Chain A
Amino acid sequence: MPKFPFRLNTQTVVLLTVIALWIFLGFKSPTFLGKENIQNIMVQMAIQGVIGVGAVVIILTGGIDLSVGSMVGFTNIVFALMLAKHGVSLSVAVPAVLLISAAIGLINGALVHDLRLPPFIATLGMMTILRGVTLVISNGSNVFGLPRSLSEMANSNFQGIPYLFLILIVVVVVVESILRRTSFGRYTYALGSNREAARLSGVDTRMVTYGVYMLGGLLGGIAGVMETSRLWMGVPTTGSMFELDAIAAAVLGGASLAGAEGNAIGAFIGALLMTTIYNGAVLLGIDSNNTKVLVGVILLVTVAIDQVRKRRAGE
C-alpha cells in the first residue's frame, strides 16, 4: 500500500467545500461575513446540527431515525403546553421534556431490537404516531403565552456567540467524546459493522441499541426545546421534514447508511454546509425553490464523489 502524505477524508473534503463557499460568498455579498450574518448562520444551523448528531449515532449502528422531526414538533407542543397552560416552571419542564423524548427513543430501540422491526419501519410508525398525538393534544392550533425568558435564550449571546450555537457545540463535543472514548462508542461502531460478531464478542447488543435510540430521542428533545425557544410558541406542525435534513447533514458529514462510518463532527460540518448554502442563496437573491434543487444536487454530488473516491482508494 502506498502511503500518501495525508489522506483526505470525507469530513475534510466537505469542510474545504464550506471554506470555498465562504470565500466565494464573502466576495459576492458584502454582508455575508458580517457579524450579524455569521450569528444568523450559527442560530440557523444549531437545531439541524443537534438532530444531525442524533442521526449519525443511529446511522452508525446501521439504523435510521425518521421520527426525529415529529419528535421536535411533539416536544415543542408538550413543552409549550406545560409552560403556558399548566404553569410548570422552566426548571421542571425542561428535564421533564427531555425525559419524555429519551423514553420515546427507548421505545424506538425496543421496536428495533426486541420486535426486530426494520428501523425504517419502526421509526416511520413512530413519526406518524407522534405527529398525530401532537395535533390531538394541541387541537391543531398554536400555543401562546410562553415566558419571555425562554425567548431571550434564543436571542442572546455569550461573548457574541448565540446560546443555541453553544448548545450545539456542547452536544457535538459530548457525543464525539462518547463515540471516541467510551466502550459504548466502540460498541456503536461494532454493531454497525457486524452485529453478530459484536454479539459473539460479548457486546450487549440490546443495551447499545436502546442507548443509541435513546440518545437520538434525547437530542430530538433538546432540539424541540431549542425550537420552542426560537419560535416562542408551540406550533404543532413544526419540525416536519427535519428528519430528512438531519439525515442529509449526517450523510454530507461522511456517515454511511450501511453503518460504522461517520462521526458527530461530520454532522456538524454537514449542517454547516447546508446552512451556508441556504443563507448564501438568500443573500444572493436566489429563489428559495431553486435553492432546494441546489441542495439536493449538492447532496447527490458529494456522496457520489465520495463513493468514487473510496473505490479508487481500493476500499
Chain B
Amino acid sequence: MTGIHKAYPGVRALYNASLSVREGEIKALMGENGAGKSTLMKLLTGAEQPTSGTIEIDGRSFKYMTPALSEQLGVACVYQNMMLAEQLTVAENIWLGRLPGRFGILDPRRLRRDTERVLQDIGYSGVIDPGQRVADLTASQQGMVAIVRAISRNARIVVFDEPTAMLADREVEELFKVIRMLRERRLAIVYISHRLEEIFRICNTYAVLKDGESVAEGPLEGMTEDRLIALMVGREVTGSNYDATRVPGAELLRAEGLTNERLRDCSLTLREGEIVGLYGLVGAGRTELARALFGCDPLRSGTVSLRGRAERLRNPRQAIDRHMGLVPEDRRRQGLAMLLSVKHNLNLPVYRRQSLFGLVRGRSEREMADRYIRDMAIKTPSPDQRVRNLSGGNQQKVVLGKWLATESKVFLLDEPTNGVDVGARQEIYALINRLAQRKAGILFISSYMPELMDVCDRILVMNRGRIVANVPRTEFDEEALLGYAIRTEATASTES
C-alpha cells in the first residue's frame, strides 16, 4: 500500500500512509489509538475505499478494494472482538457464506469432515469440536475459530488486530504458536497490538503510523521499546510509573472468605493510598471478585467491611453510596452510555444525590462536567459531545471521572488500560498515582503483568477463584507471579 490518503468529512484519517508485507514476514503495525491503523486495514480488506493511493497485491495494482475482491486475493482479518456468529456451531462459522451442499441443502457430513481437516491443520483437532456452539468456547478458542476461518479461505495475507486483548498469557502462547506456523507457510502477516513485548517476541519488522502518516518502517532488530514508543508518541516515555513517596494509611476495605459460584474463600485488604494489583488468567475470578465487592453479584458467604464497619452490599447503589467506584472491564458494554454526552455520563452516579423527580440543576451539572474534563484532561470538543465519538483512552477517562465526581475512596479498576494507546495509558497510571496520593485505595486488575509490576505496591494473584499469592513490591518477579497464576496446585500463602 503506497501513498494512501483517506479523508472523512472534516477529518484527515490517513495522509501519505504506506505499508508493505512480504511472504513469511510478521510486520508489527503500531501507533496510538486514532493514528489510523484500523482505517488502513479497512482499506486493505475493502471495508472502505481510499481517497487516493494504490494497493498492490502480488504485483497487481488496485485503486481500491472491495470485500469480495480482497477475499479473493487472499486477505483475511482476525479482529479483537471476533465477529463470530455465537449461536452457530464452529463448523458453520468457519464455512459461513460457502457452506458445502447442493441446491441449498446442506451436506452435514462434508461440513464436519472439512472442518476436522482444517482444525487438524493447525493442531486443534480434538480440542475444538466442529459441532460445538461458538458461544460455549473460551475466548482463545473463539480466536482459533476466527483464525481457522481465515486460513480455510486460502488467505495469503492475515491481519491480526489486537488479537491478545481478551486473552490470558497462556492463551497468548497458543496464539503465537499458530502465528509462527502461518509464517513458516510463507503467509504475510500484519500484527497490530499495544503490547510492546509481544511485538518484540513475535514480529520481525515494524511500521509506525502517527496522526495518519507513516513515520517509520524497518526491521525490529536493534530497536528498543523506548525508541518505538518515542516514534509513536513523538516523545520519550519515562520508564517507571511507581510513586515511592506514598505511605499507605488506615485500612479502607477488608474482605474475608468471599465465596460464590466463581469465588473460593477470597480475603484481601486495601489501605488508604495503596495500589494493589490483582493478576490472574482470564477466568480466574478477578472480575467476579471486583463485582462481588461492588455488590453486583451475590455472595454465598464471607464478609466485607469498609473502614472497619461490616457491610452487606446487595447492589451497586449501596457500594456507590459508601464511596466505592467500579471501572468495568468492558467499557462499551458496561462502562459507558455511548449515545449520551460526556456531561451526562460523568454525572450519572451523581444524580443519586437528589430525589428521582427533583429538578437537575443544569449549572452544577455543567460545572461538574467541566471540572473533571479539565482535571483529567479529557480531550473532547465540548461536554455535550457524545462519548461514542471519543478515543478509547478518553472514554476510559470518562469512566474514571464518574467515580472522581462521587468522591470515591475505593476504586476497583478492571483492566483500565485495555484498548488504550500508549500515551493515554501513561496518563491513566499518573491518575492512579494521584488518586492514591489523595488517600484513595486502588485495586488494579490487569492481565498485563508489566503494568502491575510498574505501578503497584503489591500484587495479589488469583487462580481458579482463589487468591493464591500476595506478593510485595520487593519480591516482584515475573516468572513467580505467572507461576502462581497458572499452576494447578496452589501452594502459596493466601494471607494478605
Contact = CB atoms under 8 A, between A and B. Distances in A.
B288 to A, nearest CB: 14
Contacts of A261: 339
Interface stretch (B48-56, B166-174, B348-356, B457-465): B348-356
B111 interface: no
A189 B11 contact: no
A194 B348 CA distance: 12
A186 B347 contact: yes
A260 B402 contact: no
A214 to B, nearest CB: 12
A182 B344 contact: no
23 contacts: A1-B10, A1-B389, A178-B357, A183-B351, A183-B354, A183-B355, A183-B356, A186-B347, A187-B356, A189-B344, A190-B337, A193-B339, A194-B339, A196-B333, A196-B334, A197-B337, A200-B326, A201-B348, A202-B316, A204-B317, A260-B339, A261-B339, A314-B8
Contact of A200 (B328, B340, B347): B328
B320 A202 contact: yes
B351 to A, nearest CB: 4
A189 B340 contact: yes
B336 interface: yes
Contacts of B362: 181
A184 interface: yes
B358 interface: yes
Interface string A165-186: 0000000000000100111111
Contacts of A315: 386, 388
A184 B326 contact: no
Contact of B340 (A203, A260, A312, A314): A260
A2 interface: yes
B381 interface: yes
A186 B333 CA distance: 18
Interface in B388-408: 388-389, 402
Contact of A190 (B10, B344, B389): B344
Nearest to A181: B359
A305 interface: no
A189 B357 contact: no
A140 B354 CA distance: 48
Nearest to B331: A197
A211 interface: yes
A135 interface: no
B337 A184 contact: no
A200 B360 contact: no
A182 B333 contact: no
A198 interface: yes
What class of interface size applies to chain B in its complex with A?
35 or more
A241 interface: no
Given A202-B317, A202-B352, A189 B337 contact: yes
B239 interface: no
A199 interface: yes
A136 interface: no
B486 interface: no
A286 B317 CA distance: 57
A72 B339 CA distance: 33
B296 interface: yes
B326 A194 contact: no
A207 B358 CA distance: 15
Contact of A182 (B8, B296, B320, B360): B360
Contacts of B356: 182-184, 187, 207, 211
B9 interface: yes
A194 B317 CA distance: 16
A312 B9 CA distance: 9
A260 B381 CA distance: 21
B338 interface: yes
B335 interface: yes
Nearest to A312: B9
Contact of B316 (A184, A190, A192, A200): A200
Contact of B337 (A1, A260, A314): A260
Interface string B307-339: 000000000110011000010100001111111
B392 to A, nearest CB: 15
Given A194-B334, A200-B328, 17 more contacts: A2-B10, A178-B357, A182-B356, A183-B357, A186-B344, A190-B337, A194-B337, A197-B334, A197-B335, A198-B348, A199-B296, A200-B335, A201-B316, A202-B352, A260-B339, A312-B9, A315-B386
A186 B360 contact: yes
A35 B9 CA distance: 47
Contacts of A2: 9-10
Contact of A186 (B9, B339, B348): B348
Interface string B7-36: 011110000000000000000000000000
Interface string A29-66: 00000000000000000000000000000000000000
A314 B360 contact: no
Contacts of A194: 333-334, 336-339
Nearest to B337: A193
A123 to B, nearest CB: 23
A257 to B, nearest CB: 13
Nearest to B318: A202
B416 to A, nearest CB: 14
Shortest beta-carbon contacts, A-B, top 10? A193-B337, A2-B10, A183-B351, A202-B320, A201-B348, A193-B339, A260-B339, A194-B337, A201-B349, A202-B317
Nearest to B403: A201
A211 B359 CA distance: 16
> Which of B337, B355, B357, B402 counts the most A-chain CB atoms under 10 A from its CB?
B337
A2 B362 CA distance: 27
A182 B338 CA distance: 20
Contacts of B294: 200
B86 to A, nearest CB: 18
